A and B are shown apart, each in its own frame.
Chain A
Amino acid sequence: GESVGLHLPTLSVQEGDNSIINCAYSNSASDYFIWYKQESGKGPQFIIDIRSNMDKRQGQRVTVLLNKTVKHLSLQIAATQPGDSAVYFCAETTNDYKLSFGAGTTVTVRA
């Protein structure tokens, strides 16, 4: 079936190191992918998106990689900071109107 999942529910990272958050998806027809960050008590915040005709896209301190061959999406955060501690969700379009979200990865930054 259609599902979006994250490989690991938790990730602990040393401040200043790079973080890599992984996501596997099952719908080979998915065309659009988004990463969100959710801090405690807040709504999901858009980080970066990528279309299926691309394999890499960079933002400010973040890079999203898309490997359609193995249906894998990753979010790389450079020089992780304490403010990066949050739950990260990947989402994919499964049809015209719907984004399917994974259960999330909780990132904890150690000082």
Chain B
Amino acid sequence: NAGVTQTPKFQVLKTGQSMTLQCAQDMNHNSMYWYRQDPGMGLRLIYYSASEGTTDKGEVPNGYNVSRLNKREFSLRLESAAPSQTSVYFCASSEALPASSYNSPLHFGNGTRLTVT
């Protein structure tokens, strides 16, 4: 099984450029997430989608937008990239939100390494 697939793996942008990070999962999961990982700061939630048709902000949503295209796909868009958005971006999915009535761990992709100059 492919699990969670992210594209591209690497990207370099100039300040002000836009781009979309793609994510797809093949586990029939309902919930999907975008995290960013910075050195010494662990993983921080940008946006999440509890189920198809819904999206909500996480703890660091500024400068980003998301689209839950269908049950499989959840994209993250940077409209005007800034150097502060240099990071590794991880998409994840789970059967349900983590605090639901049954155990629902997040499964992560291998990340997109983004550099904004």
Contacts and interface: CB of A to CB of B under 8 A. Distances in A.
B110 A93 contact: no
Contacts of B111: 41-43
A103 interface: yes
Interface string B66-105: 0000000000000000000000001010000111100101
Contacts of B4: 43
Interface of B: 4, 31, 40-45, 48, 50, 56, 58-59, 90, 92, 97-100, 103, 105-111
21 contacts: A32-B99, A34-B98, A42-B111, A43-B90, A43-B92, A43-B109, A46-B107, A49-B105, A89-B42, A93-B98, A95-B99, A96-B100, A97-B48, A97-B58, A97-B97, A98-B45, A98-B58, A99-B43, A99-B98, A99-B106, A103-B41
A30 B5 CA distance: 30
